[in-house]
Amino acid sequence: MKVLHIALKNHWRAYKQSVALRKKGIKSDLYTFARNIREDGYDDIYIGHCWRSSNSTIIDIEELRVAIKHSNPDVIHTHNDPDSIVLDVKRVCGNIPVVHDFHDVYSQLTIDVDNMYNGVEHMACKLADGIINISKTIEKNLLKQYPDIRDK
């Protein structure tokens, strides 16, 4: 089995997960905005870079396609912020299952979040083949916001 982690902002957590999987004999790669992330001597972990302009969370779809092809994963694990990464990954990953990791439910963090962001967050929930919540509170809030995703 091989996992491709895609983390545009939460790259250290994704890197540590990748290293932990490697220690258990599971192949794992990382695709991130970060440029200097390698440590622990895991030089065989493919670390692809999706270059961006500062403060942008826009991903280059062709670079993403190349990273997925290069990694050839069995599962893709995306990390939120932005949740729109799920939409991009599902556009190019074919039948590879995507598991999305929610660190926060942004639609509940502020009264300033607009309907477009809520729509993207909800679409990410619906498109992901599986959802990981980092806490029971996040899970409860996500299900409160989007009850139609209960079976994920």
pLDDT in tens, 6-34: 887 657 788 888 888 988 999 888 887 66
Whole-number pLDDT of residue 55: 44
CB of 29 within 8 A of CB of 17? no
pLDDT band at 80 (very low <50, low <70, confident <90, very high): confident
3-class secondary-structure state, position 94: coil
Whole-number pLDDT of residue 114: 54
Q: What is the mean predicted confidence (pLDDT) over 122-146? A: 88
Q: What is the mean predicted confidence (pLDDT) over 81-110? A: 81
In sequence order, what are the beta bridge partners of 7?
Answer: 32
pLDDT > 70 fraction of the chain, expressed in percent and rounded: 70
Whole-number pLDDT of residue 141: 83
Whole-number pLDDT of residue 52: 46
Reduce the secondary structure of 21-74 to three states and give it as a string: HHHCCCEEEEEECCCCCCCCCCCCCCEEECCCCCCCCCCCHHHHHHHHHHHCCC
Q: Indicate if the pLDDT at residue 39 is higher than 60.
A: no
CB of 85 within 8 A of CB of 14? no
Q: What angle in degrees, to the nearest 10, is found between the helix axes of 115-127 and 136-145?
A: 110
Q: Indicate if the pLDDT at residue 103 is higher than 70.
A: yes
Whole-number pLDDT of residue 87: 87
Lowest mean pLDDT segment, chosen from 35-49, 60-74, 117-131: 35-49
Whole-number pLDDT of residue 54: 42
* Closest C-alpha among 103, 91, 70, 56 to residue 2: 70
Whole-number pLDDT of residue 130: 94
**Alpha-carbon distance values, 84 to 66, 81, 117, 135, 150 (Å):** 19, 8, 9, 21, 20
